[in-house]
Structure 1
Amino acid sequence: MTATALATRPARSVTLRRALTRLRRWGHTIENQMAVGLVLFSTTVAVLVTYFPEQTPFTSLMLPVVLGSILLGPRTLPWFVLYDMALLTYCVSQQESITPRTLGATAVQFSIALVVLVTSFRRTRLGVAGLRGETMFVDLRDRILDQGRLPGLPPGWAVESALRSAGGTAFAGDFIVAAEAPDHRSVQIVVVDVSGKGEAAGTRALLLSGAFGGLIGALPADGFLPAANAYLLRQDWDEGFATAIHLWLDLTTGDFEVRTAGHPPAVHRLAGPGRWSVLRTDGPVLGLIDDADFDVARGRLGVGDAVLLYTDGMVEEPRRDIDLGIDRMLGEAESILRGSFVGAAERLATQVGSKDDDRAVLVVHRAG
């Protein structure tokens, strides 16, 4: 490495730090401007309520409080709510006659302000609130989905995936991570089911999707599950386990390897006889046993063949054996995939499985 390159790195680092500092200052400036605007708005409303009571509803002071809960951060919001409550007290004291209805409206407004105040204290743990907090969660959700974005495969190959969360929420405990080899001759795909479901598992799924995304692109096929298991053990979570199924596929020959970690088995469809075969492999759940071994099932995808990976939400239901669930899924898959594999994953995830559990399905098809 040249001296010029070594000198450029610190310069870039300083430039990045300065840019981040300017961004933070800009964010604080915008929030301060919104706070000043809301204070002026609240004051204007208080004046209207005091001097024009016939034209201005007494409850109008709640509008700036609600706007503040959306726009202001957790440091500024409590002071703004207290200021608004002081204005409300002043407006009540200036009323010519205080009726039971006025007292009731005042009590309701104080209750709403108290709820906003308590919420702002809870948001202090996160450090952001309102629209910025929602934007962060949307960004986190999009990053989970981006991790599962499947690489473009060469002509003759088709791969589709679908994710469904319990209750239709945006966060799920199931996710998919994929990586293509630098020489574009093979691809690795892993389908993971984190313990829990819905939003409860979404945070762990986010962390694991990033970690597994780095592992799957840096390790050979037989090294991924042991490394993922070691990573989960280091986290020492109370609910730190996950199941996974890993597929390595040679895009030139069609040879593939499947390994599972406490996960439902993959299924392989042979185009000739049109039969599905279950690829059973053994391996413990990730995050429970140190130095675990994971068996491998090998096969080859010929023209027209397909392999299907899925999570337990596709085949498990209360009081039903998982083998019966697999048989039902394969029966649906045979009718859904007959004639065309386009949209196969979406159709399977929609029509098969438990609506009360997260579901993920991935279909790899060799078209020609």
Structure 2
Amino acid sequence: MPMPVNEHLRSVWTPRERAFFVDSGEGTKSSGHFTIWRPGSASERFLLIALVVGALAVGPLSAAFGPMWAPLVLLAPIILFGGLRLRPPGLVVLLAAAAISVVHGTVATGLHVVPLLVIAVVVLLAVRLASYRDNVGIRGMRGGRLLADLRDRLKTINRIAPLPRGWGCKAVTRQAPGSLFSADLTLSHQAGDRLEVALVDVSGKGTDAASRALMIAGALGGLLGTVPAERFLAASNAYLLDQPELEGIVTALHLSLDLSTGGYTIRCAGHPPAARLAPGSGTWHLSDAHGIALGVTDDAEWIPEKGSLAKGDALMLFTDGMWDPRLGLDSGVDRLLGEAESLVTKGYKEAGNLAKSLAGKRDDCALVLIWRT
């Protein structure tokens, strides 16, 4: 239903906010939103007045001093700043003032095509900025700060708990080139001699997957160490099935390791298998743990693999971003394991170089290497 004219006029001076609601009961569910009005701040109103006055002044100044000293293109920064700081109703008023100024200046000094084209491009950009920022509820440059905060939170989540003497770990997470975020997550929890690690791959990459990755990391990170290790994948699966808005595939590797004995259990949910290296053999062996990806069906089962790490043994968990996607799963894993054999002579701490040299150029990647010294 279109908004009445009086509400359009009111929204220029008094901000309106959307409140969301959900109704459920009797087997039905509906949702929507309604508008509430809040008092406008003095700074918002002063900014609107200042920008409108500035825009209206450009035309008369251009007519008085000529386009050489007061060109109409001076409207461009005013309009662009308005797109960053004003809500769409206020921007409409500013654009109307700019149009009046353009007409005034053009009548007085004649038609100049280039300045008008520049102003037209800036108007389109300002409208796009204002509408986008209004949809997400941000003003000015706060959007950049929000993205930076989201990135820092994801980095904080991707960590491994400190290990006791006799154990070593190397964890590497890298986002896709040109992206601020990684949708590959490394979660861990340590309580006493029990270490749990979950390597999670959320479908998508970069900003598109950032919000889903943060939600999933918070939920699965809360489950890790809270529910019994054998129930972690089942609890994670139940959570994702209960969140239909979290679209896409989520795969995971879950490791439960006893730091006192070296005994471990690996569970796999649609993820590339873990690998184990025993120095006596000098080769990596893939885990037989397998199962369906998370969030697909409520009757999923995950077949675990149990084993024990002796001194010098290592476990490697990784995502499919560790190789070029054109290689495919089997070829990519073979290449990774072939390169990883060099860790026997170079040392496990050199695992970070694998991510640098092998990781695909278009995807996120993560690698976790745990060894017993």
* Pairwise TM-score range, normalised by the shorter structure: 0.7 to 0.9
Partner of residue 126, structure 1: 136
1:83 and 2:94 correspond: yes
Partner of 2:263: 255
Which residue type is aligned with residue 366 of structure 2?
A
SS state at 2:255 partner:
strand
Q: Which of 237, 243, 252 does residue 244 from structure 1 map onto?
A: 252
Equivalent residue for 1:207, pick from 206, 209, 215: 215
Letter in 2 for 1:63: P
**Following the alignment from structure 2 to structure 1, what is the Cα–Cα distance between the partners of residues 45 and 257?**
54
Distance 2:43 2:185 in 1: 36
Once residues 105 and 54 of structure 2 are traced to their aligned partners in structure 1, the CA distance between those partners, rounded to angstroms, is: 19
Which residue of 1 is the match for residue 277 of structure 2?
269
How many Å separate the matches in 2 of 1:37 and 1:210? Answer: 44
Give the aligned partner of residue 52 of structure 1.
65
1:350 aligns with 2:356: yes
Residue in 2 that maps onto 1:173: 183
Q: CA 1:52–1:336 in 2, change beyond 3 Å: closer, same or farther? A: farther
Report the Cα offset of residue 95 of structure 1: 5.0
The amino acid that maps onto 1:123 is R
Specify the alignment match of 1:325 in structure 2. 332
| RMSD (Å), alpha carbons | 2.8
Q: The residue matched to 2:116 in structure 1 has which SS?
A: helix
Query: Structure 1 counterpart of 2:222, which letter?
Result: G
Structure 1, unpaired ranges of 5+: 1-24
Q: Secondary structure at the match of 1:125?
A: helix
Going from structure 1 to structure 2, the CA distance change for 1:310 and 1:55 (only over 3 Å counts) comes to same
The percent identity for this pair of structures is: 37
Q: Decide whether the 8 Å contact of 1:174 with 1:311 is kept in 2.
A: yes
Give the aligned partner of residue 160 of structure 2.
150
Question: Residues 65 and 231 (structure 1 numbering): CA distance in 2 closer, same or farther, change over 3 Å?
Answer: same
Match of 2:148 among 121, 134, 138: 138
Other-structure match for 1:64:
78
Rounded Cα–Cα distance in structure 1 between residues aligned with 2:220 and 2:168: 23
Matched, 1:191 2:199: yes
- d(CA) in 1 for partners of 2:350 and 2:51? 49
> Does 1:224 find its partner at 2:253?
no
| Residues 353 and 359 in structure 1, CA contact (< 8 A), matched pair in contact too | yes
Distance in 2 (alpha carbons) for counterparts of 1:259 and 1:167:
30
Q: Distance in 2 between matches of 1:47 and 1:302?
A: 84
What are the ranges of 5 or more consecutive residues in structure 2 without an aligned counterpart? 1-37
Q: State the match for 2:104 in structure 1.
A: 93
- Match of 2:154, SS state, is helix
Q: 1: distance between equivalents of 2:96 and 2:300?
A: 60
CA contact (8 A) 2:182 2:205 kept: yes
Offset from partner CA, 1:283-302 (integer Å, 9 cap, x none): 11111121322111112222
CA shift, 1:217, in A, is 2.9
TM-score when normalising by structure 2: 0.80
Q: Give the distance between the partners of 2:48 and 2:312, measured in 1 at CA.
A: 62
User: How far apart are residue 111 of structure 1 and its match?
Assistant: 3.8
One-letter code aligned to 1:210: G
Distance across 2 between alignment mates of 1:308 and 1:29: 58
Would you tell me which structure has more strand in proportion to its own residues?
2
Is the CA contact (8 Å cut-off) linking 1:61 and 1:88 kept in structure 2?
Answer: no
Q: Figure out how many residues of one structure are paired with residues of the other and give that number.
A: 334
